[in-house]
Amino acid sequence: MDVLRAREVPLTSEYDIARARQMVRAWALEISLGLVDQTKIVTAASELARNTVVHGGGGAMFLELISSEQRKGLRLTFKDNGPGIPDIQVAMEDGYTTGGGLGLGLSGAKRLVNEFVIKSAEGEGTEVILIKWKLVTHD
Amino acid sequence: MKRQKNLVATMIIEHEGELLIDWLEERSRRNTNLMFNSGLFNKEEFERQASDLLKIFTKGLKEDTVLDIATDEWAEMRDYLSELSNDKAAKGYSATETAIFVFTLKKPLFKLLSREIQAHPEQLTNDVWEITALIDQLGLYITERFIKNREEIIARQQDEMLELSTPVVKLWEGILVLPLIGTLDSTRTQIVLESLLEKIAATGSNIAIIDITGVSVIDTLVAQYLLKAVTAARLMGAECIISGISPQIAQTMVQLGVRFTDVSTKANLSDAFAEALKRSGVVVTKRQESF
């Protein structure tokens, strides 16, 4: 897998969440992701960026344009040094919330992308990696 | 030291005319072509502002004890620079163009100093150093004011946008519409929600259409805000219809797992309006033309 381009977006405030969304949309347009997939990856980015700001106490998003064999894609890595998630399995369940939200952020975001990896431990921060592929069709 | 600074001030006053000519020349040389072409540069204005600045500059030098523009002696200079920076910002100058006005005084001033204090090299070095430090401070101050001014404009525009973006419109007797546009962050959503509830109370409406055509992303937080708005409106006796859910947003919401179960939703505003009219018992028919 090759990284064609990378960019770091700091996430510390509400304003940064909007900026992260805009960046993801711009890059999704660049690899001509379809409108539905664009909306999906931007929504997933919005969820995780908010988690980073609200639960992780701030962090950053690493935005990468990647390519592998026949396809191109976006890889988003969200990192924070917050309190971490004690039980990932529970956190990934629909409806589980600590902050009074709908509890669909993590599980929902996972359903919106092609690949989803979450690493977290109590007191060690959280890292979430999302990949959305754009399939190249040959005719 | 005091006497020598007086000397510099006297020198500036004596040779003001010459300084202004050199300054203008230096300023023109450092100008971007763009500015000249756009007709922003005004010679008379420059001369007036340059002459005013020199007067305040010499006044500061005369009374001076310390060459620090944060001190009381330089209050007049600070006021003048703030005013100047506001004026430049309003006329569309860039921050660099504003700062260049001050910085281009250096060269003509050094030229004058080196000619007049030639005989005392040590004195010259000292004066040049002090004047450099002083002009740097002036340049930084005017830039800082310039940025501050821009920030104030941005903050004001943000406030204006908050107000502008939340109109609640009455469509029919008892039917309101709230068109949402752009990003729904917590501050805006709060204002949106308040204005909707106020309007429901003021008009006694029983149907409110929330149109989200202009909202590009509905994530779980936005969805939650919408559901809260619907619940609050319901407590006030008004039913909400959410309209303008695009195909891509519908698909995204399904995968995200957000359910608007007990809320009526429509693909577009016109369908929502038709539904609202139906619920209010209003029938819309085409007139039969009879000839």
Fold of A2-134: Heat Shock Protein 90 (3.30.565)
For residue range B169-220, list pLDDT tens digits in order: 999 999 999 998 877 776 777 788 888 999 999 999 999 999 999 888 888 8
Q: Please, which residues 98-117 of chain A have a Cβ atom closer than 8 Å to chain B?
A: 101-102, 104-105, 107-109, 111-112
Residues on chain B touching A108 (C-beta within 8 angstroms)? 220, 255-258
Instruction: Count CB-CB contacts under 10 A for residue A37.
Output: 23
Which residue of chain A has the CA closest to B256?
A108
Q: Nearest chain A Cα to B252, which residue?
A: A40
Contact B216 A40 (CB under 8 A): no
How would you write B51-103 as a 3-class SS string? Answer: HHHHHHHHHHHHHCCCCCCCCHHHHHHHHHHHHHHHHHHHCCCCHHHHHHHHH
In this prediction the pTM is 0.68
Residues 240-279 of B with CB under 8 A from A: 247-249, 251-252, 255-258
Hey, is the C-beta of B220 within 8 angstroms of any chain A C-beta?
Answer: yes
Instruction: Report CB contact under 8 Å: A112, B256.
Output: yes
DSSP, res A83:
S
- Give the pLDDT confidence of A78-95 residue by residue, as tens digits: 999 999 888 888 888 888
Residue B33 has pLDDT above 60, yes or no: no
Give how far Cα A67 sits from Cα of A2, A10, A135, B100, Å.
5, 24, 10, 47
The alpha-carbon gap from A115 to the nearest alpha carbon of chain B, in Å, equals 14
With a cut of 90, say whether residue A28 has pLDDT above it: yes
Question: Do B112 and B173 touch, CB atoms closer than 8 A?
Answer: no
The minimum CA-CA distance between A121 and chain B, rounded to whole Å, is 24
Residue B144 CB coordination number (10 Å): 15
Which of B186, B219, B248 shows the shortest C-beta gap to A36? B248
Quote the pLDDT of residue B1: 44
Hey, what amino acid is at B120? H
B93-116: average pLDDT: 87
Domain ranges of chain A: 2-134
Chain B residue at shortest CA distance from A110: B256
CA B188 to chain A, closest CA, distance in angstroms equals 12
Higher pLDDT, B233 or B14: B233
Using the predicted structure, report yes or no on whether residue B11 has a pLDDT greater than 90.
no
CB contact under 8 A, B224 and A101: yes
* A90 vs B: CB within 8 A: no
3-state SS assignment for residue B239 = strand
For CA atoms B129, B135, B140, B141, the dihedral sign is positive
Mark yes or no for CB contact B251/A102 under 8 Å.
no
Give the residue from A107, A102, A106, A108 showing the smallest Cα distance to A126: A106
Domains and CATH numbers, chain B: 2-159 (1.10.490), 169-279 (3.30.750.24)
Q: What is the mean pLDDT of chain A?
A: 90
Given this model, what pLDDT does residue A29 score?
A: 93
Token pair for B16: 């003001």
Contact A38 B221 (CB under 8 A): no
